[in-house]
A and B are shown apart, each in its own frame.
Chain A
């Protein structure tokens, strides 16, 4: 159980970092402990789905490749960490004794003008996550999320200062803003 809680807590933390604007929390804690665990698992699946969506929105078509016309047979992307992985299978993040897993579907919002055609035009989708907990308990949550500008995934700014900018030696600095070439200075640290 300890392992399970670490995993759950970790994924919630992940969500809080990668889905920084998401507010709210788990308020519907049931009486049944297994049900409660299933709900946590569902929330974990939703967080993993959010992380996946942030990485996979495409300029112009947004989430169109992830939604189906009228939400019939919605997709369950395998790229979502642990999605559909049964206990003991590769990718399942929970200890086997928990008998826990989740599955995540991506739905289009019905208000979307492309709903019938299976196109995403407003960058809004629904993450439907079903958590399967101990003793056959299940829980399901829906997250309605909207992406902002499609910027591409940012590369972290160089962490440690070093020649070649980073440990990959690729001379790459995504955080070096435009250089104003008219502002120049020279200095002699050892004196003239």
Chain B
């Protein structure tokens, strides 16, 4: 029951009518440099198709000179390993460097540690065409690192890896001894490391140096913890991306714990050439040791001390999102069915999801193996069982799950590979994965054994079938830029011409312009040439690759084949590129940009009239001494601030996931250094990295909050007190950049050209960004060029909020955008004193909205004041976006929207959209009659809205505290989408219904097809008294240009269309509605953009019409157009409106304005005494316009008594 009844004056109408004329902005200064050009074609054919592609489930067919699907594997055939030792602990490695996998094995009641060399090559190869044939293995003992000697039972976990980076496999062995008789409590006694001497003896057998203490100190040895059982309790991996192999080690502590031990060796400098390609370990200059670093997971609920509760696990990315996931079981795991075998998904910035997926399993796991056994490019799962701690009579059974490629990859039924035998196979104690037989497909085989009872050692030989895998993919290397490599340009789109035959299967192509890849589905180019085109949603990169995804026919008997790909790309030359938006405040426009190549960043302050640059923040940052800067980070939880400098490196180990202080110091020094830019002679590099998608936010002294007019007296007074206390607060420009920092730049519009304007007050490295810096540092070190994948890239949200003590403060919330999936909250109430002393921000919390199911954190969070149970709460409602690893439907990532208390970060609720969220989040108050729950205007937000990549718009009640549960929204939408599933420990699950308010496909009179809705959903009531949502479709570069789009006004209470405008289609090119909308008391303003044609070799910059329509409906379902202003290039970014003018920036390096700014120069607003801090009123109800913005007049007063 809201409405907006602001009478439009005749004069306004006249101006609007006069303006309904199309005028072209033709920036003379940019017209030359912004012309997109098309590269010369690059081609892949013949052997180059093989050598320049990375394949998953795809192979190169030499005979046909083509790529095709791989034959399916996963046909396991059992074979005896042929050893008789009671080897209970074992790990695999190529110790003799001959290309055949060997293994090291240790006894449980015998002290031996032996090297078993793979001499299977001595035995003839079978008929590989016979799926039942296996090669007879041969694994003689060739070295004994510890001799045979009977002992009491000891737990001796073993791990093998190239720990010193010399290319030869080394051996780690720990020993736990029984601490309490009658229990399974074995405590660590020693841990040793045998380094491979990197040369074989005359017989070709490996040689090892003498053992030494593998742990850096006694604390690290103790941290190995209680070990109860065998199986896969260790894993070797590069945990922190420093190209050194680290160790995961499980224990029974605290109901099951897996700890991280980092390799502390010092990398040799220089490295031998050629430097091994990532992820191979780099050479150490000293002997490695392991130091206890952190807990990967604890409190796994596996039971108490002294029982068989040591987790057996695999920590590997199983869902293809680039983050390692954990699958774990235990011998005595199993009273709760849901705990027998679980999947914890990894999340951006480190850590595991708090929720798990239960995998149906009978229980008693002793070995967990993950690998692509089926050859389809997706990791599969094999688990072996114990017999003595659970499910007696079912030990020695082996189960195999094929990854189904969904978000629940092992939800399907398993295949049983072996069965219990009370005589010959009681249980499984030990196993590993290896390619023992060198079959032509190099499939991974499984060794699994009952090592302590029967000495039954089996190989499950993995054989291929006479069929093709269901699907596979291959990705090309980067297109050589040739003569463009040193040019300043960004790649905006690409076109490919593939030559392929489907053979009953399917094939799709993707293109990417970034590293790591951000794949965009290539669709038919509008010129009907048969070529495929893609425009890049993040036109910031210049590393162009293509990827093919092919699937076999329904019976998997035929495969598509690809014999040739030709590719071109479109690029735009400019010195400066603006991808983020413009913000204007007090006569100053702020915008961040970047240059390519080199990722050099700039933050410009320009007069609002757009004729003069006041400063570039990069100037001060680069001219300042390092010691003059105030750079902070926090603990991993984001709750305690830390200094980000070398002197504080010891305190940054956990945040950086560094192995030692010297490594942390090296990374900190690198992050603070000048590392962005091409590095040409005479041109110094910059400390400031690219500002890609981070639209700046301007922190000023507090004004009236948006909830003010309806707030109660006490709350008003409280905020007035805050305004008074902070009236001299210095203004700061906040933004994120590729240097890993959120920067705060001082700005004083009344003294814009003198200090401290343009000076950096402080910078903050988000902790989940910091956790990726070692990998970035190492990759940069190896490549010789700055490579950054982890950085804050979101647009900050600034809002006043209530602190725990009842006073107000100001919070900044910043997502990672293209640089990650996390969200950081800072208190920025008073970070610089009025005299200029830097106090710095106070970290509040950090999180990953949606945890392991998050996408890239593009969505700008909203902050709302809500009333929950009669109590005021300030909440942040955050989403992420399309994930790099899940760019197209079906979407499994980026669907979750979550609400947190601003003050504490406590999760209140979650909601799951049908597809990845592509809009920002908006909130509003309403008293519409058709809204359930009878909401009213009271200063508290009643609804949150957002939209997704499939064209659904959602509406929720944000004022709920569900302790992190799913926020069901019946009555707030009638379109049912996928429900949100919650798994329970007993293996059961419940589903929470989720509804959409609007759908581009399903809502009457809408497109009738799915289309993404991106940017800002503008929200305002019109004269009907009802709240209306304004948004358009197709606002992603990756959305096919051939598909029509529409702009809508939709009633927020019913989801029905009030008005709509169709984007024009000319030929096969249709207008898109990028960037959302701006709504005023009279108008709705948005852009209608035609993308540049791709790969045409013509100078096509695309075009945009900035359209303003009346807030009120026109005839029928039409809008009334007030004006249309043409822009001679495509505008994809957000609009910003301030005091009479609209602003937007372009990738070609321009910022444009439509309208006359109230203050064309800095400080104009500050100098004015007539600016009303309130807008023209428009809140309304069905009873008529309610309230007045004008003060009451006191006609008289008296004291009656």
Residues of A at the B interface (CB closer than 8 Å) are 10-11, 13-14, 17-24, 28, 39, 46, 48, 50-51, 53-61, 65, 81-82, 93, 124, 128, 138-192
Q: What CA separation (Å) do A147 and B1193 show in the bound complex?
A: 6
Tell me the minimal C-beta distance from A155 to chain B in angstroms.
5
**Interchain residue pairs with CB less than 8 A apart (24):** A14-B713, A138-B1201, A148-B1190, A150-B1185, A151-B1185, A151-B1188, A154-B1176, A156-B1173, A157-B1173, A161-B700, A163-B695, A163-B795, A167-B706, A168-B862, A169-B920, A174-B1080, A174-B1176, A175-B1172, A175-B1176, A182-B23, A184-B1152, A186-B27, A190-B574, A190-B1149
Contacts A187-B610, A192-B32 given; does A20 touch B1186 at CB 8 Å = no
Q: Is the interface of B mostly helix, strand, loop or mixed?
A: mixed
Contacts A159-B702, A161-B584 given; does A154 touch B1175 at CB 8 Å = yes
A170: chain B residues at CB < 8 Å are: 922-924, 1016-1020, 1079
> For the complex, is B703 an interface residue (Cβ under 8 Å from A)?
yes
B695: chain A residues at CB < 8 Å are: 162-163
Q: What CA separation (Å) do A160 and B797 show in the bound complex?
A: 9
Q: What CA separation (Å) do A11 and B715 show in the bound complex?
A: 11
Q: In the bound complex, do residue A163 and residue B1198 qualify as a contact, i.e. CB atoms below 8 Å apart?
A: no
> For the complex, is B698 an interface residue (Cβ under 8 Å from A)?
yes
Tell me the minimal C-beta distance from B189 to chain A in angstroms.
58
Most chain B Cβ neighbours within 10 Å, of A54, A58, A173: A173
Contacts A165-B1078, A182-B23 given; does A177 touch B709 at CB 8 Å = no
Q: What CA separation (Å) do A25 and B236 show in the bound complex?
A: 79
Q: What CA separation (Å) do A148 and B1190 show in the bound complex?
A: 6
Q: What count of chain B residues pass the 8 Å CB interface test?
A: 136
> For the complex, is B1138 an interface residue (Cβ under 8 Å from A)?
yes
Number of A-B contacts (CB under 8 A): 404
Q: Which of B101-109, B290-298, B358-366, B601-609 contacts A (4 or more CB under 8 A)?
A: B601-609
B611: chain A residues at CB < 8 Å are: 185, 187
Q: What CA separation (Å) do A83 and B1016 show in the bound complex?
A: 41
> Which one, A19, A28, A180, contacts B1156 given CB within 8 A?
A180
Residue of A at shortest CB range from B694?
A163
Q: What CA separation (Å) do A28 and B32 show in the bound complex?
A: 77
> Which one, B860, B1018, B1142, B1173, contacts A179 given CB within 8 A?
B1142
Tell me the minimal C-beta distance from B744 to chain A in angstroms.
13
A184: chain B residues at CB < 8 Å are: 23, 25, 1125, 1152-1154
Q: What CA separation (Å) do A17 and B708 show in the bound complex?
A: 12
Residue of A at shortest CB range from B924?
A170
Residue of A at shortest CB range from B1152?
A186
Q: What CA separation (Å) do A189 and B591 show in the bound complex?
A: 9
B1191: chain A residues at CB < 8 Å are: 18-22, 54, 148
Contact indicator per residue, chain B 1127-1156, by CB within 8 Å of chain A (1) or not (0): 000000010111111100000011111111
B1125: chain A residues at CB < 8 Å are: 181, 184
Taking A81-B714, A157-B704, A159-B700 as known contacts, 13 extra A-B pairs with beta carbons closer than 8 A to each other, sorted by chain A number, are A24-B1197, A48-B713, A54-B1188, A128-B1200, A153-B937, A153-B1179, A163-B1134, A165-B1136, A167-B706, A176-B1137, A179-B1123, A187-B29, A190-B602
Tell me the minimal C-beta distance from B1167 to chain A in angstroms.
17
Contacts A48-B713, A59-B5 given; does A139 touch B12 at CB 8 Å = no
> For the complex, is B720 an interface residue (Cβ under 8 Å from A)?
yes
Q: Which 7 pairs between the two chains have the least Cβ-Cβ distance?
A: A174-B1175, A190-B576, A152-B1177, A159-B703, A154-B1174, A167-B799, A186-B27
> For the complex, is B16 an interface residue (Cβ under 8 Å from A)?
yes
> For the complex, is B697 an interface residue (Cβ under 8 Å from A)?
yes
Which residues of chain B (565-597) have a CB below 8 Å from chain A? Answer: 574-576, 581, 583-585, 590-591, 593, 595
Q: Which of B783-791, B819-827, B960-968, B1081-1089 contacts A (4 or more CB under 8 A)?
A: B1081-1089
B941: chain A residues at CB < 8 Å are: 168
Contacts A28-B1199, A144-B1197, A188-B30 given; does A61 touch B1184 at CB 8 Å = yes
Residue of A at shortest CB range from B734?
A162
Tell me the minimal C-beta distance from A130 to chain B in angstroms.
8
Q: In the bound complex, do residue B922 and residue A164 qualify as a contact, i.e. CB atoms below 8 Å apart?
A: yes
> Which one, B576, B799, B1186, contacts A191 given CB within 8 A?
B576
> For the complex, is B804 an interface residue (Cβ under 8 Å from A)?
no
> For the complex, is B868 an interface residue (Cβ under 8 Å from A)?
no
A173: chain B residues at CB < 8 Å are: 1078-1080, 1137-1138, 1175
A177: chain B residues at CB < 8 Å are: 1080, 1139-1140, 1158
Q: In the bound complex, do residue A149 and residue B1188 qualify as a contact, i.e. CB atoms below 8 Å apart?
A: yes
Contacts A149-B1188, A161-B698, A168-B706 given; does A180 touch B1155 at CB 8 Å = yes
Q: In the bound complex, do residue A180 and residue B1019 qualify as a contact, i.e. CB atoms below 8 Å apart?
A: no
Q: In the bound complex, do residue A167 and residue B863 qualify as a contact, i.e. CB atoms below 8 Å apart?
A: yes
Q: In the bound complex, do residue A168 and residue B6 qualify as a contact, i.e. CB atoms below 8 Å apart?
A: no
Which residues of chain B (534-584) have a CB below 8 Å from chain A? Answer: 574-576, 581, 583-584
Q: In the bound complex, do residue A160 and residue B1192 qualify as a contact, i.e. CB atoms below 8 Å apart?
A: no
A154: chain B residues at CB < 8 Å are: 709, 1172, 1174-1178, 1189
Tell me the minimal C-beta distance from A153 to chain B in angstroms.
4
Tell me the minimal C-beta distance from A92 to chain B in angstroms.
11
> Which one, A171, A181, A182, contacts B1079 given CB within 8 A?
A171
Tell me the minimal C-beta distance from A150 to chain B in angstroms.
5
> For the complex, is B15 an interface residue (Cβ under 8 Å from A)?
yes
Tell me the minimal C-beta distance from A101 to chain B in angstroms.
15
Residue of A at shortest CB range from B593?
A190
Q: What CA separation (Å) do A51 and B15 show in the bound complex?
A: 36
Q: In the bound complex, do residue A124 and residue B1183 qualify as a contact, i.e. CB atoms below 8 Å apart?
A: no
Q: In the bound complex, do residue B1178 and residue A188 qualify as a contact, i.e. CB atoms below 8 Å apart?
A: no
> For the complex, is B515 an interface residue (Cβ under 8 Å from A)?
no
Q: In the bound complex, do residue A192 and residue B1197 qualify as a contact, i.e. CB atoms below 8 Å apart?
A: no
> Which one, A17, A160, A167, A168, contacts B924 given CB within 8 A?
A168
Q: What CA separation (Å) do A60 and B1030 show in the bound complex?
A: 29
Q: What CA separation (Å) do A24 and B1149 show in the bound complex?
A: 58
Q: In the bound complex, do residue A179 and residue B1197 qualify as a contact, i.e. CB atoms below 8 Å apart?
A: no
> For the complex, is B798 an interface residue (Cβ under 8 Å from A)?
yes
Q: What CA separation (Å) do A39 and B1201 show in the bound complex?
A: 9
Q: What CA separation (Å) do A19 and B1139 show in the bound complex?
A: 26
Residue of B at shortest CB range from A148?
B1190
B923: chain A residues at CB < 8 Å are: 168-170
B920: chain A residues at CB < 8 Å are: 163-164, 169
Q: In the bound complex, do residue B714 and residue A152 qualify as a contact, i.e. CB atoms below 8 Å apart?
A: no
A138: chain B residues at CB < 8 Å are: 1201
Which residues of chain B (252-295) have a CB below 8 Å from chain A? Answer: none
A188: chain B residues at CB < 8 Å are: 27, 29-30, 576, 1149-1151
Which residues of chain B (324-366) have a CB below 8 Å from chain A? Answer: none
> Which one, B4, B708, B1178, contacts A156 given CB within 8 A?
B708
Q: What CA separation (Å) do A191 and B23 show in the bound complex?
A: 24
Contacts A93-B714, A174-B1081 given; does A148 touch B1155 at CB 8 Å = no
Contact indicator per residue, chain B 289-310, by CB within 8 Å of chain A (1) or not (0): 0000000000000000000000
B1079: chain A residues at CB < 8 Å are: 170-173
A51: chain B residues at CB < 8 Å are: 713
Q: What CA separation (Å) do A167 and B703 show in the bound complex?
A: 13
Tell me the minimal C-beta distance from B274 to chain A in angstroms.
38
Tell me the minimal C-beta distance from A120 to chain B in angstroms.
13
Q: In the bound complex, do residue A21 and residue B1193 qualify as a contact, i.e. CB atoms below 8 Å apart?
A: yes
B1078: chain A residues at CB < 8 Å are: 165, 171-173, 176
Most chain A Cβ neighbours within 10 Å, of B861, B1018, B1184, B1187: B1187
A39: chain B residues at CB < 8 Å are: 1199
Q: What CA separation (Å) do A24 and B1195 show in the bound complex?
A: 10
B590: chain A residues at CB < 8 Å are: 161
Most chain B Cβ neighbours within 10 Å, of A60, A149, A155, A161: A161
Q: What CA separation (Å) do A164 and B924 show in the bound complex?
A: 13
> For the complex, is B796 an interface residue (Cβ under 8 Å from A)?
yes
> For the complex, is B207 an interface residue (Cβ under 8 Å from A)?
no
Q: What CA separation (Å) do A170 and B1178 show in the bound complex?
A: 15
Contacts A169-B920, A170-B1017 given; does A144 touch B1194 at CB 8 Å = yes
Most chain B Cβ neighbours within 10 Å, of A65, A161, A171, A188: A171
